[in-house]
């Protein structure tokens, strides 16, 4: 073959290669463009009444954030408690794929996994700031994912109430004896502690608390704090408002996602969803700090609520029982023991720093 013909063939081959590469790139761009324009519709079920301040609205804000951050590629529709499934049925609903997301609190699922309780609140456990430190930088998040994996769920922190109130009581609590025979709405490990102290814990969804307290079906209830409690009108059904919330020192709210649905997302959308959860977690805590102090002022100064501090001997006894109950819970299975060991080790370490930083400063600021 002549040199001129060889050059011609080589040129045609190169041109074909370029056209092929361009065609491949165009095809990949079309596929990518198609993926980016596809709208993914998800359902989020919650344990909270529709649009309930702080908790229900927190779920709404998370959904809206995901919608906006994904530029509309994920559209999340929120269903309040009872709209699609019952408030305490959302775990199973998301696990089986009836909905893609659930918004609640992990201690509601202790019947599914004893270990789950540690990712919501532990009596005399971690504050909100300490809890976030454990989850994000102390190995807690990895353990949470391990616990939920067998249920086909991907968990994430999606809010925090901060330190809660001790609850609403229709009688004064002057000693440990006053806890005996007390019927109180209180979930999770806090309920187990009350039971050990002689009381009767009752698990009720939010919407059933006020009528139960008003009718006398229960003698006392904890819910969250002034912001939420006033929205429920609990001050109209009980006289005494006790603090601090020894049972929930920094309650983490959760959003769990059906794992199959999550893994089907493109990587960029997975990152968007995870980051939306982090923003929601931070924002809810800020909202509760702001709204709680405003609501407490209204409850005391406008509604005449009697604010009471639990007596020291009551707190001391509750702490003693709490340590026993939490340690016993840890022995129920290997996974719970693994989570417990991590949680307690972190608590014992971090409280030393909290004592010389946050606690010391607050004590100093309170001096008159």
Does residue 23 lie within any of the structural domains? Answer: no
Ranking 11-25, 32-46, 125-139, 333-347 by mean pLDDT, the lowest is 11-25
Total of domains in the chain: 2
Does residue 206 lie within any of the structural domains? Answer: yes
Does residue 266 lie within any of the structural domains? Answer: yes
| Residue 22: exposure state from Cβ atoms within 10 A (0-12, 13-18, ≥19) | exposed
**CA atoms within 13 Å, Cβ hemisphere of 367:** 6
Does residue 20 lie within any of the structural domains? Answer: no
Ranking 13-22, 223-232, 233-242, 245-254 by mean pLDDT, the lowest is 13-22
Q: What is the pLDDT of residue 11?
A: 54
Q: Are residues 182 and 278 in the same domain?
A: no
Q: What is the tens place of the pLDDT at every residue in 101-143?
A: 999 999 999 999 999 999 999 999 999 999 999 999 999 999 9
Asked whether the bond before 244 is cis by omega within 30 degrees of 0, the reply is yes
Q: Are residues 86 and 55 in the same domain?
A: yes
Q: Are residues 312 and 338 in the same domain?
A: yes
User: For 95-105, what is the mean pLDDT?
Assistant: 98
Query: 3-class DSSP state for residue 247?
Result: coil
Does residue 47 lie within any of the structural domains? Answer: yes
Work out the angle at residue 181's Cα, subtended by the Cα atoms of residues 175 and 183, and round it to the nearest 5 degrees: 105
Place of tokens 């493109």: 266
Is residue 32 pLDDT above 80, yes or no? no
3-state helix, strand, coil in the chain (%, to 5): 55, 15, 30
Within the chain, strands assigned E span: 40-46, 74-79, 101-104, 153-154, 157-160, 167-169, 183-185, 200-202, 220-221, 240-243, 252-258, 306-309
How do beta strands 200-202 and 40-46 pair? unpaired
Q: At what angle do helices 56-69 and 267-301 cross, to 10 degrees?
A: 150
Q: Are residues 237 and 256 in the same domain?
A: no
CATH code for the domain of 95: 3.40.190.170
**Chain CA centroid to CA 66, Å:** 17
Q: What is the pLDDT of residue 16?
A: 52
Whole-number percent of the chain with pLDDT over 90: 85
Q: Are residues 147 and 234 in the same domain?
A: no
Q: What is the tens place of the pLDDT at every residue in 268-291?
A: 999 999 999 999 999 999 999 999
Radius of gyration of the chain (CA): 26
Q: Are residues 154 and 217 in the same domain?
A: no
Contact (CB, 8 A) for 101 and 76: yes
Q: What is the pLDDT of residue 31?
A: 46
Q: Are residues 269 and 228 in the same domain?
A: no
Does residue 339 lie within any of the structural domains? Answer: yes
Among 288, 317, 346, the domain-final residue is 288
Q: What is the tens place of the pLDDT at every residue in 321-355?
A: 999 999 999 999 999 999 999 999 999 999 999 99
Q: Are residues 101 and 58 in the same domain?
A: yes
**132 Cβ neighbours under 8 A, 6+ residues apart:** 157, 160, 281
Whole-number percent of the chain with pLDDT over 70: 90
Does residue 265 lie within any of the structural domains? Answer: yes
CATH code for the domain of 227: 3.40.190.10
User: For 17-34, what is the mean pLDDT?
Assistant: 55
**Chain CA centroid to CA 362, Å:** 26
Q: Are residues 192 and 324 in the same domain?
A: yes
Average pLDDT, the chain: 91
Tell me which residue range forms the domain holding 176: 167-249+303-354
Q: Are residues 77 and 107 in the same domain?
A: yes
Q: What is the pLDDT of residue 69?
A: 97
Ranking 62-66, 175-179, 201-205 by mean pLDDT, the lowest is 201-205
Q: Are residues 154 and 50 in the same domain?
A: yes
Q: Would you place residue 18 in the very low, low, confident or very high pLDDT band (cuts 50, 70, 90)? A: low
Is residue 154 pLDDT above 80, yes or no? yes
Q: Would you place residue 3 in the very low, low, confident or very high pLDDT band (cuts 50, 70, 90)? A: very low
Q: Residue 238 — left, alpha, or beta (φ > 0 → left; ψ -120 to 50 → alpha)?
A: beta
Q: Would you place residue 9 in the very low, low, confident or very high pLDDT band (cuts 50, 70, 90)? A: very low
User: For 304-308, what is the mean pLDDT?
Assistant: 96
Q: What is the pLDDT of residue 205?
A: 80
User: For 186-196, what is the mean pLDDT?
Assistant: 91
**340 Cβ neighbours under 8 A, 6+ residues apart:** 115, 118, 326, 327, 329, 330
Q: Are residues 207 and 231 in the same domain?
A: yes
Ranking 89-93, 227-231, 260-264 by mean pLDDT, the lowest is 227-231
| Residue 77: exposure state from Cβ atoms within 10 A (0-12, 13-18, ≥19) | middle
Does residue 363 lie within any of the structural domains? Answer: no
């Amino acid at each position: 073959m002549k040199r001129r013909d060889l050059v011609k063939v080589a040129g045609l081959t190169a041109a074909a290669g370029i056209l092929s590469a361009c065609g491949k790139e165009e095809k990949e761009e079309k596929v990518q463009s198609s993926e980016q324009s596809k709208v993914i519709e998800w359902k989020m079920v919650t344990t909270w009444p529709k649009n309930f301040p702080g908790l229900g609205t927190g779920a709404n804000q998370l959904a809206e954030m995901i919608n906006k951050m994904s530029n509309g590629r994920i559209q999340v529709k929120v269903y309040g408690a009872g709209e699609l499934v019952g408030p305490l049925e959302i775990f199973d609903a998301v696990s089986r794929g009836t909905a893609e997301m659930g918004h609640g609190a992990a201690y509601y699922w202790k019947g599914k996994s004893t270990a789950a309780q540690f990712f919501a609140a532990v009596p005399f456990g971690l504050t909100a700031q300490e809890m976030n430190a454990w989850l994000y930088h102390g190995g807690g998040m990895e353990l949470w994912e391990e616990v939920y994996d067998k249920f086909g769920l991907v968990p994430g922190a999606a809010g925090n109430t901060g330190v809660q109130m001790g609850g609403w009581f229709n009688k004064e609590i002057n000693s440990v004896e006053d806890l005996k025979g007390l019927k109180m709405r209180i979930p999770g490990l806090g309920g187990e502690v009350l039971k050990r102290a002689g009381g009767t814990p009752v698990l009720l969804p939010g919407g059933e608390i006020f009528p139960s307290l008003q009718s006398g079906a229960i003698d006392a209830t904890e819910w969250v704090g002034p912001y939420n409690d006033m929205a429920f009108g609990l001050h109209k059904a009980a006289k005494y408002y006790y603090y601090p919330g020894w049972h929930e020192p920094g309650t983490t709210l959760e959003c769990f996602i059906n794992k199959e649905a999550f893994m089907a997302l493109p990587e960029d959308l997975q990152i968007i969803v995870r980051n939306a959860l982090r923003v929601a977690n931070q924002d809810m805590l800020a909202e509760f700090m702001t709204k709680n102090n405003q609501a407490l002022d209204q409850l005391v100064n406008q509604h005449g609520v009697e604010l009471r501090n639990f007596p020291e001997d009551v707190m001391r006894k509750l702490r003693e029982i709490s340590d026993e109950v939490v340690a016993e819970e840890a022995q129920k299975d290997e996974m719970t023991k693994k989570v417990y060991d991590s949680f307690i080790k972190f608590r014992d370490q971090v409280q030393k720093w909290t004592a010389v930083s946050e606690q010391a400063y607050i004590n100093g600021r309170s001096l008159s």
